[in-house]
Structure 1
């Protein structure tokens, strides 16, 4: 297996977007999977790399990246050392970051000179908050063919939909803090995040996105997800024009993964996640699909 790690793309907002690419040399053009991480996440979290390699074994070119304002840096990709950037992140920036990655995949001669990949067969996977970002990007890009959400959030404003007093206090203070349970850091969210959503509410509405999304869509969710309840998956299915739902019995928000991940074998629920995702991709006509 070949790979490129931490290739830096120039982001629209002055910060780099680190990208990893994994593939096997192939005569036939490889279909492409692009993975978007979630809130308080990063491309090198836990078992994401091990998952990427399983998709490569199945005949894919797998791309994962860090959102430019996720709080890590190219020099410190495993730690949230740039909390100012984290606080200044918003949904429009994440969509622009993903668009930068997609444009690079489609246009970069440097990539095509190394990898025989099929830029007409690009598929998106989004985990948690990366799910709605992937859905919007799929709707907006003709060269994205299919989309999968893993434990996907149903609406980007779900945390404050019924919290008028909290929003007023947020505006007054300019910031509120969320605790990272793993690192014990209090991570800032500046009020600009809410302003960005309000300004772009129509574009960022997942209900609107799903009703206009006429591409194959797979929803994968764990029945024991404590972070994003199963109701979110049901909401996505209810409003999608062309979707199917796969519930993995007993799975949590990260399908049994953890950070750091040092086990020899992927967790049972992660293996189910991969099998179901590959089955969906194969069923939707991917001629390069290999048996997993």
Structure 2
């Protein structure tokens, strides 16, 4: 029987982290997967829950979580009522959140009794792909890495020199959320934090130094993060495995809300290739 267990843990930046774990209740020694959502994302977006169930049915202990400053709250985890938190998010906070989740796994006896915490893979979508790449390089507890439609560079997403100067002057810039129609703020601290931690936050450096198996999955119809970025990731880590999903867009055919019990065709292909990679 598939079980989904919900947990809230304390983040180190004064915001809670909402987690769910999906697994077959009578299995033991399950490999662990942690999934990280992307920009303007959340753990229950689209068909991520169907994806979690599919991995669980294949024998994995599948964990996904909301970054503490993604703009959601415990009461409203799907929409973005806490725009102040969103505006104060940054890459290092997301890396801290991921470390907190990993630490929680390693310190929770209930998980250790049924899951093999020493077989721990990270999967990240879009911006989350950059986060997991950096964490996989710096944390020896990670054994495998999967990049889904991942970005290859955080720095080139900051804007032009003129845009950054205006951002500094006003202290904030806004981005429209196409789904909720909210104007979502980014405070200038986001740029300051990136500059202060630029070496650590350089995805090229992290991927080039990876010592673990790395699978890169990207759609050739992705118009949000171009296929060129997947090719860069693969070139920086020639030992990695690159799989191009023909006809797939940035979210591999999913949308929100997702009301089907099955995965879209492209995401199903992604999951099948991921399971094969993780079981090798």
TM-score by length of 1: 0.93
Report how many residues are paired. Answer: 279
Aligned equivalent of 2:120: 122
Distance 1:19 1:166 in 2: 36
Separation of aligned partners in 2, 1:95 and 1:35: 13
Aligned position for 1:22: 22
> For the aligned residues, what is the CA RMSD?
1.1
What does residue 5 of structure 2 align with?
4
Q: Distance in 2 between matches of 1:63 and 1:239?
A: 28
For residues 64-143 of structure 1, the aligned pairs below 5 Å read: 64-112=64-112, 116-143=114-141
In structure 1, C-alpha distance between the alignment counterparts of 2:28 and 2:169, rounded to whole Å: 57
Give CA-to-partner distance per residue, 1:23-80, whole Å, 9 cap, x none.
Answer: 1134540000000000000001110000000000101000000000000001101110
Partner of 1:155: 153
**Which ranges of structure 2 fall in alignment gaps of 5 or more residues?**
none
Instruction: Name the CA distance, whole Å, in 2 between partners of 1:112 and 1:235.
Output: 36
CA contact (8 A) 2:27 2:59 kept: no
In structure 2, how many angstroms separate the alpha carbons of the residues matched to 1:107 and 1:178?
38
- 1:40 and 1:2 map into 2 onto residues whose CA distance is 27
The answer (yes or no) to whether the contact 2:17–2:68 under 8 Å persists in 1 is: yes
Q: Per-residue displacement from partner, 1:117-167 (whole Å, max 9, x unpaired)?
A: 001000000000000100111111111100001100111122136x11111
| Contact residue 21 and residue 63 of structure 2 kept, 8 A | yes
Relative to structure 1, the CA distance from residue 122 to residue 182 in structure 2 (aligned partners, 3 Å threshold; closer, same or farther) is: same
Aligned to 1:215: 212
Partner of 1:289: none
Match for residue 290 of structure 1?
Answer: none
Alignment of 1:1-292 (within 5 A): 1-5=2-6, 7-26=7-26, 28-112=28-112, 116-160=114-158, 163-283=160-280
- Paired with 2:52 and 2:99, the residues of 1 have a C-alpha distance of 20
Query: How big is the shift at 1:186?
Result: 0.7
Instruction: Return the alpha-carbon distance in structure 1 between the equivalents of residues 236 and 31 of structure 2.
Output: 28
Report the CA distance shift for 1:27/1:227 in structure 2 as closer, same or farther (over 3 A): closer
Change (3 A) 1:151 1:27: closer
Give how far 1:246 is off.
0.5
1:214–1:242: 8 Å Cα contact kept in structure 2?
Answer: no
The one-character-per-residue Cα deviations of 1:159-196 (angstroms, maximum 9, x if unpaired) are 136x1111111111111001111111110001101111
C-alpha separation in 1, matches of 2:24 and 2:261? 21
Structure 1 unaligned segments of length 5 or more: list them.
Answer: 284-292
